[in-house]
Amino acid sequence: MRPSDGGGGEPTVPGPVRTCLGCRRRRPAAELRRLALAPGLDRARVVPDPCRRLPGRGAWVCHDDPGCLEKATQKGRLARALKIANPDLSALGRG
């Protein structure tokens, strides 16, 4: 059961790995959805960042599990991850 060494030909390229803020699982970033602060607003509004281009800190939640977004927005987890006191979550449908 040792990994083959120097074989090559593996089709899967390991991309960046991120931790879901909801379930805390580590997954490839491609399977996660990025949340970030919308730039240029007075209030710290958290928005989905499908292009992953927004500057600053981001938080990640599972793409395929709505429960993760739910958990991530509870108990100030998002606030802590993004280092802001009172994030506006209305853009996430979580008034």
Q: Nearest approach, Cβ of 21 to Zn ion (angstroms)? A: 8
Q: Nearest approach, Cβ of 67 to Zn ion (angstroms)? A: 8
d(CA 95, CA 49): 18
The single residue among 18, 22, 37, 81 that binds Zn ion, judged by CB under 5 A, is 22
d(CA 93, CA 79): 16
Question: What ranges in the chain are assigned the alpha helix state H?
Answer: 66-72, 77-82
Q: Are strands 58-62 and 26-28 parallel, antiparallel or unpaired?
A: unpaired
Binding flag, residue 62, Zn ion (CB under 5 A): yes
Q: Going residue by residue from 23 to 52, which x/- string records binding to Zn ion, judged by CB under 5 A?
A: x-----------------------------
From the list 3-11, 44-52, 64-72, 78-86, the region that binds Zn ion by CB under 5 A is 64-72
Cβ atoms of residues 72 and 21 within 8 Å: yes
Q: Which stretches of the chain bind Zn ion, using CB under 5 A?
A: 20, 22-23, 62, 68
